[in-house]
Structure 1
Amino acid sequence: MSVTPVVARLVGACVATAVAAPAAPAVSAPPQVFAPGVISGPANDAAATFTPDGRTVYFFRSNHEDYDILASHFDGARWSPPVLAPFSGRWRDLEPAMSPDGRYLIFASSRPADDRGRAPDGHWGGQVHAGKGGSLWRVDRRGDGWSAAVRLPDAINFSDATFSPAIAADGTLYFMAATGAQGHFRLYRAPYAHGAYGAPQPLPFSSGAWSDVDPAVAPDQSFIVFSSTRPPASKTLDVFVAFRDGAG
């Protein structure tokens, strides 16, 4: 894959989705606050993911201590006041990702593997983050509701700091996980076939020399957008895009 900086700066906790040509990233209309006063408010609202019909949005809201996944519905004229998702509310739940077919949703959570006891610690950036570890969980659509949350296999949750899922059209899972002495985040890809994930592999450009975070992958996996501390970024996060070369 070739990695190119996107002509944009990540300011605060902003999540964007864009389609750009490799040679000259196109700039569309200026970004606008989404549903101000209803969905976007004084708290930190991030990681919006939509059902295939675009009429329901799931996102997480935090005040730096509580992290909850909320849902809002569009009635054709306006978005409804967000309500707590039925699978959220007890643990630090964040970064929901809807499957392209709308049949399931994957999210990051601090909940322990057996859903009892205390939230695990997370290790990244050379520090221990007490009670703020993360692993990936899945809920399946059941009529108008959702199943109980199920933790993804240990092969996926190999790090106690596994976050930011993104799902391609064929079910391939992308995510970030912290490893190594410095605890930098790397981006990983796990193929999905016959109801099971293959072994996750780091993306070839994500070496761990810098922190690469928050992947957003095209449905056909032709490109991936992510944030990183790599040059020319320094202590901030810049937005980058990587285009797929052949099978790489």
Structure 2
Amino acid sequence: MLNLKYILYVLVVSIVFNQEMRSQENEELVKILNELKIELVQPGTVSTNGFEFGTSISPDMKEMFFIKGLSGFRRTVLVYSHWKNGYWSEPKIAPFSGKYRDMNPYHSKDGKRLYFTSNRPSSNPTLKRSNLWYVEKNLNGWSEPKLVNGINDEYEIVYPTIQEDGTIHFVSWSRPGSKRGDIFVSKLKNGTYTKPELVNELNTEFSDADPEVSRDGKFMFITSQRKGGLGHYDLYVFKKLKNGKWGKGVNLGEKVNSINMDSDPILAPDGKTLYFSSDRLDDLGTDQKKFTDYKELVRSYEGIHNGLMNIYKVDLSKLFEYLNR
């Protein structure tokens, strides 16, 4: 009897202790998320009153590619900027872009390739949607675009990220098994890509997109419309478990996420800075007071925070320290 009482006592104490520990951990996590400080990336040059999104930073952190959208996502052009004297230079149109719907730039880990998606025509008649292309670095800048072998098929590929071992995560709305936008993975084995598979633990009945894996493979960032979010699309981070699956997602909180669209998470080569896109409004855009002055109305539209996409960044050092425990 004494042994039973003792066992019950230990069990109760253990439950209470674990609950208190989880509560303390949750409070610490909330504190870290609430102290995050986002920064608009170079207002007036990179982030303007136009439509900018989808960033990629080169491994040496001296080059940035991003997307300029015309009429939203209907016409998209790849542009680039160089880091000079502490600032990003005036963007230029990539020599291989400007005609087709080019999106999702992504530097290879060695900086020798730039991947992107495009609806440009190819010699393969079955490739009728958005496919994965790449250009290679050369003495003159970049080569002519080439299709990535073994991964493209009749289904779309968007928002690809490529790990050091060649593994590709991407999103598709049309591929069999996808619902409202799902994340797939294809691995490079013996020079050939495996058949894309759903990453089940990342996908929900809602749209899940824009996968980004940290260079050490420990963390995955996505944007999602799943329940419990703050708005249209929210950014989440997942930690890889010992069994190789991704754990429960952590919403990055109201400092990073808004009631609008927050998407395109990309980690800078420093491993701690997250770049992302958002169409959040400033106070003028969300203020419910009545417009009476036409010039004020025009100023609201011409401002950077006018409801079009912009590029932001946030230092996640403390969050990574917490998640790495």
The bucket for the TM-score relative to the shorter chain is 0.7 to 0.9
Which residue is 1:152 aligned to?
148
Partner secondary structure for residue 41 of structure 1: coil
Q: Structure 2: where are the runs of 5+ without partners?
A: 1-25, 246-325
- The percent identity for this pair of structures is 26
User: Does the CA-based 8 Å contact 1:159-1:177 persist in structure 2?
Assistant: no
Aligned partners of 2:168, 2:176: CA distance in 1, in Å? 22
Which residue is 1:126 aligned to?
none
Instruction: Compare 67-76 and 169-178 and name the one that shifted more.
Output: 169-178
User: Does the CA-based 8 Å contact 1:105-1:138 persist in structure 2?
Assistant: yes
User: Does the CA-based 8 Å contact 2:161-2:170 persist in structure 1?
Assistant: yes
- RMSD of the alignment, in Å? 2.7
Shift, 1:32, TM fit: 1.2
**1:197-236 alignment runs, 5 A limit:** 197-207=193-203, 209-233=205-229, 236=232
Shift, 1:180, TM fit: 4.6
Instruction: Compare 142-151 and 89-98 and name the one that shifted more.
Output: 142-151
Give me the TM-score of the superposition, normalised by structure 2.
0.59
Which residue is 2:286 aligned to?
none
User: Does the CA-based 8 Å contact 1:169-1:220 persist in structure 2?
Assistant: no
User: Does the CA-based 8 Å contact 2:76-2:100 persist in structure 1?
Assistant: yes
Partner secondary structure for residue 69 of structure 1: strand
Aligned partners of 2:118, 2:57: CA distance in 1, in Å? 19
**Alpha-carbon displacement from aligned partner over 1:199-234 (angstroms, at most 9, x marks no partner):** 322112144622111111111221111011221249
Partner secondary structure for residue 111 of structure 2: coil
Which residue is 1:60 aligned to?
67
Q: Judging changes above 3 Å, is the alpha-carbon distance between structure 1 residues 193 and 86 closer, same or farther for their aligned structure 2 residues? A: farther
Q: Judging changes above 3 Å, is the alpha-carbon distance between structure 1 residues 66 and 115 closer, same or farther for their aligned structure 2 residues? A: farther
Which residue is 1:70 aligned to?
79
Which amino acid letter does the alignment assign opposite residue 187 of structure 1? I
Which amino acid letter does the alignment assign opposite residue 206 of structure 2? W
Aligned residues: 212
User: Does the CA-based 8 Å contact 1:186-1:202 persist in structure 2?
Assistant: yes
Alignment match of 1:172 (pick from 167, 174, 192): 167
Q: Judging changes above 3 Å, is the alpha-carbon distance between structure 1 residues 244 and 106 closer, same or farther for their aligned structure 2 residues? A: same
Shift, 1:143, TM fit: 2.6
Aligned partners of 1:242, 1:159: CA distance in 2, in Å? 30
User: Does the CA-based 8 Å contact 1:167-1:173 persist in structure 2?
Assistant: yes
Q: Judging changes above 3 Å, is the alpha-carbon distance between structure 1 residues 182 and 101 closer, same or farther for their aligned structure 2 residues? A: closer
User: Does the CA-based 8 Å contact 2:76-2:101 persist in structure 1?
Assistant: yes
Alignment match of 2:55 (pick from 41, 48, 53): 48
Partner secondary structure for residue 205 of structure 1: helix
Q: Judging changes above 3 Å, is the alpha-carbon distance between structure 1 residues 35 and 234 closer, same or farther for their aligned structure 2 residues? A: closer
Which residue is 1:163 aligned to?
158
User: Does the CA-based 8 Å contact 1:168-1:220 persist in structure 2?
Assistant: no
CA radius of gyration, larger in: 2
Which residue is 1:32 aligned to?
39
